[in-house]
A = this chain, B = another copy of it.
Amino acid sequence: MADNKKMVEAITSMDADFAQWYTDVVKKAELCDYASVKGCMVIKPAGYAIWENIQKELDRRFKETGVQNVYMPLFIPEGLLEKEKDHVEGFAPEVAWVTHGGLEPLQERLCVRPTSETLFCDFYAKDIHSYRDLPRVYNQWCSVVRWEKTTRPFLRSREFLWQEGHTAHATAEEAEARTVQMLNVYADFCEEVLAIPVVKGQKTDKEKFAGAEATYTIESLMHDGKALQSGTSHNFGDGFAKAFGIQFADKDNTLKYVYQTSWGMTTRMIGAIIMVHGDDNGLVLPPRIAPVQIMVVPIQQKKEGVLDKAYELRDRLLKSGFSVKADDTDKSPGWKFADCEMRGIPLRVEIGPKDMEQNQAVLVRRDNHEKTVVSLDELEAKAGELLETIQRDMLEKARKHRDSHTYTAEEWDEFVETINNKPGFVKAMWCGCRECEDKIKEETGATSRCMPFEQESLSDHCVCCGKPAKKMVYWGRAY
């Protein structure tokens, strides 16, 4: 097991330096790499395969709610970006500008899309005429660019992959319902597939999307107690429709403006998976998102029949619908175990000559290292049960961590003390004014994560200024 140890030693421990641990896992699990282009990523096969599974699962859930996929241009003419005032103010400082096409300067600069509200609006203004054309429930999978100053793999990069849904509706009520519906799709996806529990709520005006009437968010808590905004859904009311002139003839033959929403989830969720589930041995992937769910590791593979048996077990498990590989490299079993762990493969099947004699295999869970000896006659059934248990236990563990790192504070001193000494969410009452939000950020580094849909009354006064409280807010330091 010497080389096993050696490999494990190669990553920094979470407690020693969480940021370095994160970078080590990203690198050693071969998820992504820095590119020569500053602030951009190369997403490697192991990382991209996770994104493909996220896409497949989200896309299926979207389509069940009537979403249709489309593709809009990569570029936004400067004049188009400027049509909605709040929106351009929010995004102009961080976009990349194309000024030359081929050998000639462009007449109008084009920005590389940081998000595509303006393009969808421009299209909808031409394409929507009548109530019969509504609702429009479109989505696209693409990359977007935001010229960030400091970047981190998956969490913040100048280019990232995402989906962006953009819808248009006949009524404000329908738009609001769609905004909430998509937030729920995200929340269910996070909990059921990524095993990441989330808090659903609304962003404050300070934190909402540029141009939105209301932004809803799901917030998750990483292992180090920092929050991660994991998906957002925006209700635009008719603000964009008025700026872009998106009108339709309603049933009563009057011209009305549409009501719009948008919603997005990004490759940063790969960062969330790492930071919620990972441990000092590396990545830990929930079975429902793992590109490889089971790795079969032969023990003493040079002994006759062992490799064949390993392939046989792999093929049996493949046939049952699991995603399986067999590690037949010439590395030692210890090295292979460590490698499986580093890559986060949920279940390991060990098979050697002694196991073969006894018609058994050893199943080892990635999440808690628990070993189960199973008869080969029930291999598929037991593997399936274990994967389901792992999925359930990972969510449960993440929920417990989240709950045990969620604190409350009624008074200012208690709030500052908690933020500074207890990494996690702090629930506290808020008067609703921007000044308190600014002060909290300035003095503690914490931001309002959301006003949760499930409100509680912790006290009658704002934790910051003491004036009457309007909302209970989740506060925290965030990625």
Using a CB–CB distance below 8 Å, which chain A residues touch chain B?
33, 35-37, 40-45, 48-49, 51-52, 68-77, 80, 93-103, 110, 112, 119, 122-123, 126-127, 138, 142-143, 145, 147, 158-159, 161
Contacts and interface: CB of A to CB of B under 8 A. Distances in A.
A96 B111 CA distance: 11
A40 B119 CA distance: 12
B69 A52 contact: yes
Contact of A71 (B48, B72, B73): B48
Contacts of A102: 93-96, 147
A49 B69 contact: yes
Given A75-B159, A123-B33, A70 B48 contact: yes
23 contacts: A35-B119, A35-B123, A36-B77, A37-B75, A41-B71, A41-B73, A42-B72, A42-B123, A44-B70, A45-B70, A48-B68, A49-B69, A73-B159, A74-B145, A93-B103, A96-B98, A97-B98, A97-B100, A98-B99, A99-B99, A99-B100, A101-B147, A112-B112
A71 B98 contact: no
A206 to B, nearest CB: 21
A86 B168 CA distance: 48
B147 A74 contact: no
A73 to B, nearest CB: 4
A324 to B, nearest CB: 15
Identical chains bound together, number: 2
A36 B72 CA distance: 10
A35 B73 contact: yes
* Pairs A-B, 4 closest by C-beta atoms: A40-B73, A45-B68, A43-B71, A101-B147
B36 A122 contact: yes
Contacts of A119: 35-37, 42
Contacts of A147: 101-102
A159 B44 CA distance: 24
Most buried by B among A52, A69, A71: A71
Contact of A70 (B42, B76, B95, B100): B42
A102 B95 CA distance: 5
Contacts of A103: 93
Contacts of A145: 74
Contacts of A44: 70
Contacts of A126: 33
B143 A74 contact: yes
Contacts of A110: 37, 96
A130 to B, nearest CB: 13
A94 B100 CA distance: 10
Contacts of A122: 35-36
A161 B98 contact: no
Nearest to A32: B71
A41 B123 CA distance: 11
A69 B93 CA distance: 33
A71 B42 contact: yes
Most buried by B among A40, A41, A52: A40
Nearest to A148: B102
A95 B33 CA distance: 26
A73 B42 contact: yes
A269 to B, nearest CB: 15
B33 A73 contact: no
A80 B52 CA distance: 29
A360 B51 CA distance: 47
A142 B470 CA distance: 46
Nearest to A142: B143
Contacts of A49: 68-69
A196 to B, nearest CB: 22
A147 B75 CA distance: 12
Given A45-B70, A71-B143, A73-B159, 18 more contacts: A33-B123, A35-B73, A36-B80, A37-B110, A40-B73, A40-B75, A42-B71, A42-B123, A45-B68, A48-B71, A51-B71, A74-B112, A74-B145, A75-B96, A96-B100, A96-B101, A98-B99, A102-B147
